């Protein structure tokens, strides 16, 4: 019902009477007033006038109700929100196992045990950042799983660029970078049969409104956030208005909708070409730590399965399916 009220506000530029809104919702005026009060407690700024009715002045920087209005397809049709949770990926994997629909999204304001790649922890301070996991049922072969991460990285980079103007690049395989600092990352987990992926969970973490001072010292030097990048770009010192997580998440989900369709329709070359346009890795001298092995060379390309192709000092080529990339120049 909250979504219905917000949708009515968005549909009309100006005041709308409480009588009309309660009639359309099928509730009493007293019940409607309680809903308005609850929305205000959630951070909505709603002006009320005895003569004119109500109008929406401002929405909070994150709003599930507004997000549901902004998404345009299957991604985000079902949204599960928690103020605090161990890990959005853990819950999403459990829900996927139970059969929730493709495109279901789990979002949290805070993670107590956020997951990173290779068993690492994803630092997740409360409120202000994006912690979400998207359940997909792609019906593709397990060998193509890397393409889900490629698709997701493209979607996130494009969404942040388009909604904030920040030039986000992708460091192979899953890091979102701004000026050589990490803005966010992607963790893809899945359940598969021998010949197909039954479901996958795409975990997305992006620093939006977090102050880097809140990060551990070993993370802070290499981290970036949307709000601090915008402050630097505009020469703003001190506090500035929070960035809308709602708009960024909606942009990500709509980009995922688009690029998932490209993937399942066999458009892997289109995906790879788009990733290359956004890459911060290709053409650079790198060191890659892959399991117990370490390789150095020039990151020359990625193949049509998303594997990194490294030109070794010997002149030979090495394909790498997973690993950590360290930029050498």
Beta carbons within 10 angstroms of residue 138's beta carbon: 20
- pTM for the whole structure: 0.90
Write down the pLDDT at residue 221.
81
Burial class of residue 325 in the structure, from the number of CB atoms within 10 Å of its CB (0-12 exposed, 13-18 middle, 19+ buried): buried
Write down the pLDDT at residue 119.
60
Write down the pLDDT at residue 64.
93
**Taking the mean position of all CA atoms in its chain, how far away is CA 290?**
26
**Residue 170 and residue 271 in contact, taking contact as beta carbons nearer than 8 Å:** no
How many whole angstroms separate alpha carbon 225 and alpha carbon 210? 6
Beta carbons within 10 angstroms of residue 86's beta carbon: 14
pLDDT along the chain (329 residues), means of 10: 90 89 93 94 92 92 93 94 93 96 95 68 76 94 90 97 95 92 93 92 93 77 89 61 92 97 93 95 93 93 92 94 86
Question: Cα angle at 133 between 79 and 139, to 5 degrees?
Answer: 95
**DSSP conformation class of 238:** S
Nearest to 195 by CA among 141, 148, 266, 143: 141
How many whole angstroms separate alpha carbon 44 and alpha carbon 32? 15
290 backbone dihedrals φ, ψ, rounded to 5°: -125, 100
How many whole angstroms separate alpha carbon 181 and alpha carbon 159? 18
**Residue 83 and residue 107 in contact, taking contact as beta carbons nearer than 8 Å:** no
Write down the pLDDT at residue 239.
56
- What are the structural domains of the chain? 2-58 (1.10.10.10), 64-278 (3.30.930.10), 285-327 (2.30.30.100)
- Tens digits of per-residue pLDDT, 214-234? 777 777 788 899 998 998 866
Write down the pLDDT at residue 150.
94
């Amino acid at each position: 019902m909250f979504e219905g009220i917000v949708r009515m506000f968005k549909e009309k530029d100006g005041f709308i009477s409480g009588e009309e809104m309660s009639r359309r919702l099928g509730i009493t005026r007293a019940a409607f007033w309680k809903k308005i009060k609850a929305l205000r407690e959630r951070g909505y700024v709603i002006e009320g006038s005895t003569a004119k009715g109500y109008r929406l002045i401002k929405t909070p920087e994150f709003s599930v109700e507004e997000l549901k209005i902004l998404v345009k397809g299957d991604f985000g049709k079902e949204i599960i929100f928690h103020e605090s949770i161990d890990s959005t990926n853990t819950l999403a994997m459990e829900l996927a196992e139970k059969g929730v629909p493709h495109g279901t999204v789990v979002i949290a304001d805070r993670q107590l045990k956020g997951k990173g790649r290779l068993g690492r922890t994803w630092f997740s301070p409360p409120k202000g950042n994006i912690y979400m996991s998207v359940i997909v049922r792609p019906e593709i072969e397990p060998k193509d799983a890397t393409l889900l991460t490629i698709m997701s990285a493209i979607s996130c980079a494009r969404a942040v660029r388009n909604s904030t103007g920040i030039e986000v690049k992708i460091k192979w395989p899953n890091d979102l970078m701004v000026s050589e600092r990490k803005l966010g990352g992607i963790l893809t987990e899945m359940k598969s049969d021998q010949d197909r992926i039954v479901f996958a969970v795409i975990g997305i973490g992006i620093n939006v409104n977090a102050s880097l001072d809140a990060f551990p010292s070993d993370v802070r030097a290499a981290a970036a956030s949307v709000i601090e990048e915008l402050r630097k770009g505009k020469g703003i010192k001190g506090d500035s208005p929070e960035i809308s997580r709602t708009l960024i998440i909606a942009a990500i989900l709509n980009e995922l909708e688009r690029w998932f369709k490209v993937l399942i329709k066999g458009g892997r070359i289109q995906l790879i070409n788009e990733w290359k346009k956004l890459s911060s890795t290709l053409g650079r001298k790198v060191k890659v730590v892959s399991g117990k092995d370490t390789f150095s060379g020039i990151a020359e390309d990625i193949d049509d399965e998303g594997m990194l192709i490294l030109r070794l000092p010997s002149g030979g080529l090495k394909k790498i399916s997973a690993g950590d990339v360290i930029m050498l120049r």
